[in-house]
Chain A
Amino acid sequence: MSRSRHWPVALILVLALILAWLILDRTQPDHNPLRDALDGVLTPLQYATTVSGREFSGLSSIFADRLELSRENEQLKQQVAELRSHVALLQEAQIENETLRKQLGFKSAVPSYELLSAEVIGHDPNALLQYLIIDRGAQDGVAVAMPVLADTGLVGRISEVSANSAKVMLISDPSSSVSAIIQRTRATGVVRGNVDGGLTMYYLSPGDVVEPGDVVLTSGLGGNFPRRLNIGQVTSASYSDVDMFQQAQVVAPQVLRSLEEVMVLLNATDYELAEPEQPPAPPATQAEE
């Protein structure tokens, strides 16, 4: 067969695949077998490429400056020691908090989460979108809308699930919005992603005092995310007389697009907003009797 006859055949093959895809997507939108089949091929390939890419970058880091590494090691040791003492203090505070809550008949403020660890095997190839692809899917119990966390805080939520992989919409995607609260002042707003991958907190009342360094947490309003998950820190706030609200620039604790491992919150529907239960009635006084 001459070279000029190859391409129409190849073109017809690809076009037939696309046509079949579109028909199946219309007739079986939830379980397109072609999508599942292609996903079954792409997921292991992505996994293998990501793992080998990481090993290569690990090899290159062996040649990094040893002096720099030992200095960094010392700093990290010091940080670990400081953090350990902080953790001990926080544990004490938590025990005290739980005890007082029990005495007052309040629900626990710290619900127990069921987390599933997942590896990031790819990124959305479209530069305009902020999504990650993880190696856990419906077979592992992952479902759409489940929150995704990292050890430093909130990462995003599951937007699409296939058998062995899932897509995570990062909180830095322009279509993402998270109800948030400023830890120090309890001012509420909505954190949205920017096109440049940054975060902005909108709808802060003009009277709210917002300062650089303020910690931003999820508020739990709307029920999409549990409360008190770390979103980031305020870097600057802006307000002009013509605006109805002030807004603040927020920086996430780490670059979300460069995460290698994340955790999916499986019991996403089980978390509660920790509304206080009705406290026990005070004991009746003798006069009332």
Chain B
Amino acid sequence: MGAYLAIPAGILGAVLQSALMPHLRILGGTPNLVLVVLITWVLLVRTQDGIVFALSAGVALDTISSAPFGLAMVALTIVALLAGLVGANLFRAAWYLPYVSVTVGTLVYGLLGIMALQAVGRLAPVGLSMRHAVLPELVPNLVLMAIVYELAHALARFRRRGEIG
């Protein structure tokens, strides 16, 4: 069921990212809800379901955004695969796993965005874009990750206990 749920969840995530997140500024940056939920999904459920979430959220984000069509879809799918790789290569129970994943994910997502904008001839100098747009997202994403991951983790444990009981 998780894979089917990922479709509306991705679209809802994109709407919240566009309408609500810009009002939630943490230390000068806006958290990327879609990215954080995607990584949580990959780490707690599995990469395949995460890819479905990435594609559906990507379609919605590409509709809302003025960036080249396909950027969000491709970038989120790559982040899902990377998070799956990080999850497979680090100790699953390590407390830092979600934080390492979200740090890598934020940087990769940002860099792909800069490269795509440059490819279509838009002004996006790497140094300035990293400093003013990508790096300010890092701390808000880590803060949001702490909340989302712990909540989802607690929910998953609760469900598992219910299934055993």
Contact = CB atoms under 8 A, between A and B. Distances in A.
B66 A167 contact: yes
Interface stretch (B7-15, B81-89, B91-99): B7-15
Contact of A126 (B48, B67, B69): B67
B73 interface: yes
A148 to B, nearest CB: 14
B59 A126 contact: no
A6 B59 contact: no
B24 to A, nearest CB: 9
Given A125-B18, A129-B67, A3 B122 contact: no
Interface string A1-45: 001001101110111011001000100000000010011011001
A202 B14 CA distance: 36
- Most chain A C-beta atoms within 10 Å of own C-beta, residue among B12, B59, B114: B59
B35 to A, nearest CB: 10
A124 B64 contact: yes
Contacts of B137: 127
B27 interface: no
Contact of B1 (A6, A11, A45, A133): A6
Contacts of A41: 11
B23 to A, nearest CB: 6
Interface residues of A, number: 47
Given A7-B52, A49-B16, A53-B23, A128 B6 contact: no
Contacts of B14: 42, 125
The bracket for how many chain B residues form the interface is: 35 or more
Interface string B144-155: 000000000000
B134 interface: yes
Given A9-B3, A174-B122, A122 B19 contact: yes
B15 A14 contact: no
B17 interface: yes
A125 B61 contact: yes
Given A49-B19, A167-B66, A128 B11 contact: no
Given A174-B124, A196-B132, A49 B51 contact: no
B56 to A, nearest CB: 5
B48 A7 contact: yes
Contacts of A197: 132
A10 B10 CA distance: 12
A174 B71 CA distance: 18
Interface string B58-80: 01110111110101110000000
Given A6-B2, A46-B19, A124-B18, A174 B52 contact: no
Interface string B16-55: 1111111100000010101000000000000011011001
B64 A128 contact: no
Contact of A128 (B4, B21, B52, B117): B117
A160 B129 contact: no
A175 interface: yes
Nearest to B67: A126
Contacts of A25: 69
Given A41-B11, A42-B60, A18 B16 contact: no
Interface string B98-122: 0000000000001001100100001
Contacts of B51: 7, 11
A10 B66 contact: no
A121 interface: yes
A122 B124 contact: no
Contact of B123 (A11, A46, A175): A175
15 contacts: A6-B2, A11-B3, A14-B7, A42-B64, A121-B19, A123-B19, A124-B64, A125-B14, A127-B30, A127-B110, A131-B65, A159-B66, A174-B122, A195-B125, A197-B132
Interface of A: 3, 6-7, 9-11, 13-15, 17-18, 21, 25, 35, 38-39, 41-42, 45-46, 49-50, 53, 57, 121-129, 131, 133, 159-160, 167, 169, 174-175, 194-197, 257-258
Interface of B: 1-4, 6-7, 11-12, 14-23, 30, 32, 34, 48-49, 51-52, 55-56, 59-61, 63-67, 69, 71-73, 110, 113-114, 117, 122-125, 128-129, 132-134, 136-137
